[in-house]
Copies of this chain bind each other. A is one copy, B any other.
């Protein structure tokens, strides 16, 4: 039987806390489009989590949330700096260009998905040329695509020169709770010059939902119209807000993320293959040749090879110690 336990953190079901909140929110007639009290309560909880006054919206899609954010920060004839292996560059079917009407993405290098600060210098210093898309924003991801976690000051080293140029900053927080559980201070975000943050719900164990946090109130003008036009203003908004209540009210999100991270560390401890990236968050990336990957697949364990050639094992809130031990055995067998 096929096992998807380590295929992706979005292969897991939703957490009991998120589901309970969803069910609890499903009780009466409410106004639509995010104007209901469930949406307001969830937004308050996100603001409290970040210790920040900001506009908060709950939307179905991380793909769209990040793309809408970039479109808000960048004109079609401008470009966004991002790690060359960032999700927006490699796995979104060109959604940033679709939502941003052709906006450009400029890939920067750096180990384990973290942008090398030195790599920022050249594009930020480049003169505006009419035949290239000049830089308008930086997009960073924490935790990174390769499971590494930026500390707040590391992020600040990237955002400071960008803000000094007057450019925008987008933080893709698809796995923000995993980063937080690894020590990243969520309350530091507001001081880093981030204009728009997307807090991932799906990967930490919610049914589909992402929180869009707009720190810069000028950017928030007519944001609901922007979301609506992009298919991201749900009529039944409470269904996207409620899971955040369940996961934030008593700290479940952090607790589940910490568990996922711990499972990744446990798996790293059992791993017979060389580990490619720091196991800061909930992923383990290893060097594994194709025959061995096929052999693992043949045992029913589905995992994916990534763009840097490594094979990814992803843990989630639902990953059990037993499953880690099982796949550990399977890995030993194919190693």
Contact = CB atoms under 8 A, between A and B. Distances in A.
Interface stretch (A43-51, A222-230, A291-299): A222-230
Interface in A207-237: 207-208, 222, 224-236
A133 B93 contact: yes
How often does this chain occur in the complex, in copies? Answer: 4
Contact of A94 (B3, B31, B133): B133
Interface residues of A, number: 77
Interface secondary structure of A, over-half rule: loop
A98 B63 CA distance: 16
Contact of A131 (B27, B202, B228): B228
Contacts of A62: 235
A232 B99 CA distance: 12
A97 B93 contact: no
A95 B102 contact: yes
B29 A13 contact: yes
Interface stretch (A71-79, A108-116, A261-269, A270-278): A71-79
B230 A231 contact: yes
7 contacts: A10-B236, A19-B23, A62-B235, A63-B228, A92-B131, A93-B130, A128-B225
